[in-house]
Amino acid sequence: MSTTASPQNGASNGPEHTPVPTPKKKLQGRQFYESIGSPKYVVAPMVDRSEFAWRMLTRSFMSPDEKKQILAYSPMYHARLFGEQAKMRSQFFQPTRGSAAGEGNRDEKRKDELYLDGNPLFDRPLFVQFCANDPNEFLEAARHVAPYCDAEDWDLIYRLINKLHTELSVPVTAKFRIQETKEKTLEYAKMILSAGANIITVHGRRREQKGHETGLADWSYIRYLRDNLPPDTVIFANGNILNYDDLERCLKETGADAVMSAEGNLSDPTIFSKPPAVGSGGREYWWGRDGKGGYRIDAVLRRYYDIIYRHVLEQPIPERKPLFIPSDPVDEATEAHESEEEEGPPQKKQKKDKHRRSNSPSLRYALARSKGGDMPAFEHVLTLVERAIKSGLLEYEANPEKFERSPDVTLTGSKATIAEYGRPWWVCQPHIRPLPEEALVNGALTAKGSVTTAKGRKDDEPPAGSKSAASEKPSTPANGGSETSATLTPDNLVSG
């Protein structure tokens, strides 16, 4: 479920003035949706991922008009920990300077000044998601964020939704997966709505579609809800978005008001932005000979860092050379310096690291050694990424066929999808999983459905390969390296 502050309540996408959150009138259903600008696109709640800088990065590729159409979710926070522990809150939700840890934020006089999360100048509309199995814990947690967001999201059943609906000052929304049949899904949606949910997000996959069994989302279930629920019901569709064109296709096929993306957005933060006209986009956008393109990874990484410098550290952004393009004049001195500078993990360690890619040991090594908040270390990572991309671009110039893919009728399943959607590795593109039937054939899944390799992820938890609920949070330039995560839950409470 979720809560919201509308543009007319001070939430805006334009940096005009420093508004102070005002008490909100609690609007319901479609009225509430319209009050936040009827967004069409939604950055999904993603544990440890849909944090402030990621939301900003996603928005940064959008034009001012497009930005008015996007709504973002926070990562999911553990309600009990969030409510109980000020330290957790200061680490993961920093709406005011006083709420944020760090030297620069100790100034008493500035403690109420708006800072990052939910800042009406740039981080709204925002829905904050909690997992909880106790309504009182949820309420306690929700009260800390209510002034700085537009809605709070929770996905428990009637009694719990209803308690929040009646007692919370902000609207509640709910996100759930489809049931075994369309009729059951409709029944479930009606129950959620009657409990007081103002918006429903429907993830078109069943509960068991996780890990290697994720497979495809079924949009026809969402269409069924659209056709059978009262027309003013606000529905967000979720599942299967691989690129920008899929957004419109999903809206059309499902009749939903908005479309949410998680993995697609994570893999390509530019997904909600209309791609530039063919041949344009400057140095940040790469075009192949075949007219296919994408935002370059080094450009995206620079933008991500720049958000951290500007908003979090409030430091000048370092001067950067223009991104390399193959038509740039060759600078022999730099070339010589770059080849001398190669570094990597000690030989012994290299052998043990089975994830090491032979073409980027130094990059992986540098990333592993970067601690949260250590910007010089992250700048070094950027230099290595830029260098790798430079060599990729030069290789493409010499041998473009090696990288070109095109739709191929002889291919099926994920191979066909990769042929259609795949791009060279230096640009953002969707993450395409093998279908369950392919996982069976390649041995990742057995006939009984048990996973034979990496453990499949639980509902709405980070995919296999990322950190688990019990493990440490990955370090990012911003998080300063964390010990415990309020965004993680060992409880099996929340679904999408």
Ligand X SMILES: Cc1cc2nc3c(=O)[nH]c(=O)nc-3n(C[C@H](O)[C@H](O)[C@H](O)COP(=O)(O)O)c2cc1C
Residues that bind ligand X (CB under 6 A): 44-47, 49, 75-76, 129, 175, 203, 217, 238-241, 261-264, 266, 460, 462-463, 494, 496
Q: How far is the CB of 129 from ligand X (least distance, A)?
A: 6
Q: How far apart are CA 480 and CA 90, in angstroms?
A: 12
At closest approach, how far in Å is the CB of 466 from ligand X? 6
Rank residues 393 and 444 by Cβ distance to ligand X and give the closer one: 444
| Neighbour-count burial for 19-39, b at 16+ CB within 10 Å, e otherwise | bebeebeebebbebbebbbeb
How many CA atoms are closer than 13 Å to the CA of 54, on its beta-carbon side? 25
Of 344 and 463, CB closest to ligand X: 463
- CB 73, min distance to ligand X, A: 7
Q: Which residues are 258's β-sheet partners?
A: 236
Asked whether the beta carbons of 133 and 493 are under 8 A apart, the reply is yes
Within 8 A by CB and 6+ apart from 112, the residues are: 96, 97, 98
Q: Please spell the DSSP secondary structure of 72-107, one letter per residue.
A: EEEEEEEHHHHHH-HHHHHHH--SBGGGS-SGGG--
Which amino acid is located at 193 in the chain? L
Nearer residue to ligand X within complex by CB, 120 or 496: 496
Largest CA distance in the chain: 69
Task: Decide: residue 215, CB within 10 A, 0-12 exposed, 13-18 middle, 19+ buried.
Answer: buried
Residue whose C-alpha is closest to residue 175's, from 42, 293, 70, 84: 42
10 within 8 A of 150, measured Cβ to Cβ: no
CB of 265 to ligand X, least distance (A): 7
Is the CB of 96 or the CB of 243 nearer to ligand X?
A: 243
Could you list the beta-strand ranges (E) of 21-67. 41-43
Give the shortest CB-217-to-ligand X separation in angstroms: 6
CB of 109 to ligand X, least distance (A): 36
Based on CB atoms, which residue is closest to ligand X, 218 or 298?
Answer: 218
Hey, which residues does 151 pair with through a beta bridge?
Answer: 127
Q: Where are the extended beta strands (E) located within 239-305?
A: 258-261, 285-287, 293-295
CB 260 to ligand X: min, Å:
7
Q: Shortest distance, CB of residue 133 to ligand X, whole angstroms? A: 15
Structure tokens at 271: 């997904």
* Alpha helices, DSSP H, located in 107-211: 135-145, 158-167, 182-195
CB of 259 or CB of 384, closer to ligand X: 259
Name the residue nearer to ligand X (CB basis): 39 or 496: 496
If the CB atoms of residues 78 and 364 are measured against ligand X, the closer one turns out to be 78
Q: How far is the CB of 62 from ligand X (least distance, A)?
A: 18
Output the CA–CA distances (angstroms, integers) from residue 4 to 59, 138, 338, 445, in the order listed: 18, 16, 49, 41
Shortest approach of ligand X to residue 381 CB, angstroms? Answer: 21
Q: Say if CB 313 and CB 479 are below 8 A apart.
A: no
The residue (of 48 and 386) whose beta carbon lies closer to ligand X is 48
- CB of residue 40 to ligand X, shortest distance in Å: 15
Least distance from ligand X to the Cβ atom of residue 113, Å: 29
Task: Compute the chain's Rg from CA coordinates.
Answer: 23
Task: Give the count of alpha carbons within 13 A of 424, CB side only.
Answer: 28
Amino acid at 162: N
Residue number, 137 or 263, with CB nearest to ligand X: 263
Closest CB to ligand X belongs to which residue?
A: 76
Q: For residues 104 and 121, what is the distance between their CA atoms, to the nearest angstrom?
A: 20
Tokens of 226: 């659209």
The residue (of 175 and 364) whose beta carbon lies closer to ligand X is 175
Supply the DSSP string of 214-242, one letter for each residue: -----HHHHHHHHHHS-TT-EEEEES---
Q: Which is nearer to ligand X, 46 or 197 (CB)?
A: 46
Strand partners, 262: none
Nearer to ligand X, 68 or 206 (CB): 206
Q: At its nearest, how many Å lie between ligand X and the CB of residue 309?
A: 25
